[in-house]
A and B are shown apart, each in its own frame.
Chain A
């Protein structure tokens, strides 16, 4: 069990921050966690969540929201990379730069949240920082990201 917790923390502390040492394997069976198989070997599953189990979504905690938001912002940034760099190449240009400040601020907001939350994850994974106070640290991440976005938006 300890291995599950350790690897849970290592693989995705956004989720595991909600795991306490008292937790037992059953929440894996209840469909609380996404299948994690970094070894490409189905026998090496670290944790599992059945996303299709809609009832399990009711048990979402801020840490789960952090996990989901990190993925969502990651995909949005990937979309931005496509818009900023890939499409212009296909059209014979160089880069796409948004003309509206609102679009710029939105991209920066997504980037800043992803970055701050990523730093929070690395701090938790490498140094165990904030794991016991995961929710507060996540809220602090949100506030810091929002503050930076506001400052950026104002000075833009």
Chain B
């Protein structure tokens, strides 16, 4: 197959939901991590109000979930960019995803 005849993927085809999730989680993390850093590092600027109204804990859990989701999708994207064969990529992606899921469960339980 020559480069000119290479097939390209379509947005409605495969990998689109992962792509969207990666971007949506990124945008959400901009806000959530700003709150997290504000509460932890700059309490003198009024960020503690988030904790006072009881929102900080649930937001922290959401941050953890989205950080791990975004991280997993980032590792997945990097893996897919490599020239490792498809036969190896698929189990690797599953392995990484499972590891992230176990870690999330551990963090939520402990």
- Chain A residues with CB under 8 Å of chain B are 3-4, 7, 10-11, 25-26, 28-29, 34-46, 48, 50, 71, 74-75, 77-78, 81, 85-86, 89, 104, 108, 111, 115, 118-119, 122, 125-126, 152, 155-156
> What is the size category of the interface that chain B forms with chain A?
35 or more
B contact patch SS: helix
Q: Which one of B4, B41, B77, B93 lies within 8 Å of A104 (CB-CB)?
A: B41
Q: Give A70's nearest chain B residue, CB to CB.
A: B74
Name 11 A/B residue pairs within 8 A (Cβ), A-sorted.
A11-B19, A25-B4, A39-B13, A39-B14, A45-B6, A75-B78, A85-B64, A89-B106, A115-B29, A122-B26, A152-B41
Distance (whole angstroms) from the CB of B19 to the closest CB of chain A? 7
Q: Which residues of B contact A118 (CB under 8 A)?
A: 26, 30
Q: Which one of A10, A36, A156 lies within 8 Å of B11 (CB-CB)?
A: A10
Query: Given the known A-B contacts A108-B37, A125-B23, are A41 and B78 also in contact in the complex, defined by CB atoms under 8 Å?
Result: no
Q: Which one of A40, A86, A111 lies within 8 Å of B86 (CB-CB)?
A: A40
A41 to B15, CA, bound (A): 11
A contact patch SS: helix
Q: Which one of B7, B18, B82 lies within 8 Å of A38 (CB-CB)?
A: B18
Contact A40 B37 (CB under 8 A): no
With A41-B14, A119-B27 already in contact, 4 other A-B pairs whose C-beta atoms are closer than 8 Å? A50-B83, A111-B33, A119-B30, A122-B23
- Chain B residues with CB under 8 Å of chain A are 1, 3-4, 6-9, 11, 13-15, 18-19, 23, 26-27, 29-30, 33, 37, 41-42, 64, 67-68, 71, 74-75, 77-78, 80-83, 85-86, 89-90, 93, 103, 106-107, 110
Q: Give B1's nearest chain A residue, CB to CB.
A: A43
A7 to B9, CA, bound (A): 8
Q: Which residues of A contact B90 (CB under 8 A)?
A: 40
Contact A156 B71 (CB under 8 A): no
Contact B82 A34 (CB under 8 A): yes
Contact A78 B74 (CB under 8 A): yes
